Amino acid sequence: MISTLHSGPVADAIERLYAAAQSGPRPGPRRAPGDRETERERSVAERAADAADAFMAISPDTGRLLYSFIRAAKPPTVVEFGMSYGISTLFLAAAVRDNNFGRIYTTELSEKKIAAAQKTFIDAGVGDLITVLAGDARDTLTDIEGQVGVVLLDGWKELYLPVITLLESRMPTGAVVVADNAESPDMAPYLDYVRDPANGYVSVNIAGKRNDTVEISSRV
């Protein structure tokens, strides 16, 4: 069997979006501690509006890892925090399509990104698998259905911890969390949490893109 990642409209869409990400505007540089505090004072909606043209994509390797986790676990529900233009969502959708089982709930604040991603999903033939939740994930993720077997965290880093604690009651033993950009200083509270065995995770850090890393945690 040739996977949906390697042929057809999903593969074509991933290739096209990565090319657009390479030529498009980059996310802003990492900030000094004082600058980060000032940035947090702005609402998440304001920050999302400023980043409306940046793709903020996961690496292809991380995407393939997510695809593999979903194929292996066959979760009824997959959650993504931070859709952006939907590159990562397409990796998730490819796995759900190839499993013939499951649903994806993804979150995004930028109306521009939501409109573009939804068109991409329809054109790629996976729109029926994806529910896009517009707004603050701390609000929109409260009512999703089904046990959450795989989670991708790729939004604002200081929100990783409140998002994962919001989802924990619906995460069974063996649920996997993939947290991108683990080298961000804003990730410290989240990393402290998932690396403490008392909180019910086994966690490992692996290489990501460029000088960044990815934290992978399993619910035990």
Whichever domain contains 13, its CATH number is 3.40.50.150
CA 123, CA 51: separation in Å to the nearest integer?
24
Position 33 in a domain: no
φ and ψ at residue 100, rounded to 5 degrees: 60, 35
Closest alpha carbon to 167 in 186, 192, 190? 190
Determine which of 6-20, 23-37, 114-128, 150-164 has the lowest per-residue pLDDT on average: 23-37
What mean pLDDT comes out for the span 98-121? 96
Structural domains of the chain, count: 1
User: Is a pLDDT exceeding 80 seen at residue 140?
Assistant: yes
Res 145: pLDDT: 85
Res 92: pLDDT: 98
Res 147: pLDDT: 96
Position 42 in a domain: no
Closest alpha carbon to 90 in 62, 124, 138? 124
| Residue 5 half-sphere exposure toward CB, CA atoms < 13 A | 18
Determine which of 42-46, 155-159, 190-194 has the lowest per-residue pLDDT on average: 42-46
Position 41 in a domain: no
pLDDT tens track for 53-80: 566 789 999 999 999 999 999 999 999 9
Res 63: pLDDT: 97
Position 155 in a domain: yes
pLDDT band at 209 (very low <50, low <70, confident <90, very high): confident
CA 171, CA 27: separation in Å to the nearest integer?
31
Position 29 in a domain: no
Burial class (CB in 10 A: 0-12, 13-18, 19+), 200: middle
User: Is a pLDDT exceeding 60 seen at residue 35?
Assistant: no
Instruction: Report the interhelical angle of 111-123 vs 87-99 (nearest 10°).
Output: 40
Residues spanned by the domain of 169: 8-20+52-219
Average pLDDT, the chain: 90
